Amino acid sequence: VMENTLVLLKPDAVQRKLCGEIISRFERKGLSLVALKLLTLTPAIAASHYEEHLDKPFYPSLVSFITSGPVVAIVLRGPNAIKAVRTMMGPTNPENAPPGTIRGDYATVMSNNIIHGSDSVISAQREIAIYFTEHELVQ
């Protein structure tokens, strides 16, 4: 099934100059770039993106971190792209992420875990719409 998925390279990835490295992995995998931009999230965009975590104890620190510097928002497209990206990212907690995964190779702690990827078709549609208009996605 051809899918679009939303990837965010978080402020730690941008600050550590890992964007090229990470995008390169997705390109080598065979996923296609469909949209891409560098932006700093406003608190409102962060709240929209992370609305499911609103009640969590880590929510304030999550919003503070994700708005702390520029992020790269990317739409990737390919067969089963959602699962492919999540497998390549590794588990949310880098402590559990094996070497060879993005978090396993580049991250050490949950609060600075380098990357976000949509977890379902519904989430992907919702998250892509936060960052991109229809005409920003190339055909």
Q: Which is nearer to ligand CMP, 60 or 134 (CB)?
A: 60
49 classed as catalytic: no
Give 41's DSSP letter.
P
Residue type, 63: V
How long, in residues, is the chain?
A: 139
Q: Which is nearer to ligand CMP, 78 or 117 (CB)?
A: 117
Out of 25, 62, 104, 126, name the contact with ligand CMP by CB under 6 A.
62
103 binds ligand CMP (CB under 6 A): no
- DSSP-based three-state secondary structure for 19: helix
92 binds ligand CMP (CB under 6 A): yes
Out of 4, 101, 113, 118, name the contact with ligand CMP by CB under 6 A.
113
CA distances to 48, 67, 134 from 126, rounded to whole Å, are: 10, 19, 12
Number of residues located near ligand CMP, criterion CB under 6 A:
8
| Six token digits for residue 75 | 């739409």
| Catalytic choice (49, 53, 116, 135) | 116
Q: What is the DSSP string of 64-82?
A: HHHTSS-EEEEEEEEETHH
Footprint on this chain of ligand CMP (rule: CB under 6 A): 53, 58, 62, 92, 110-111, 113, 116
Catalogue the active-site residues: 116
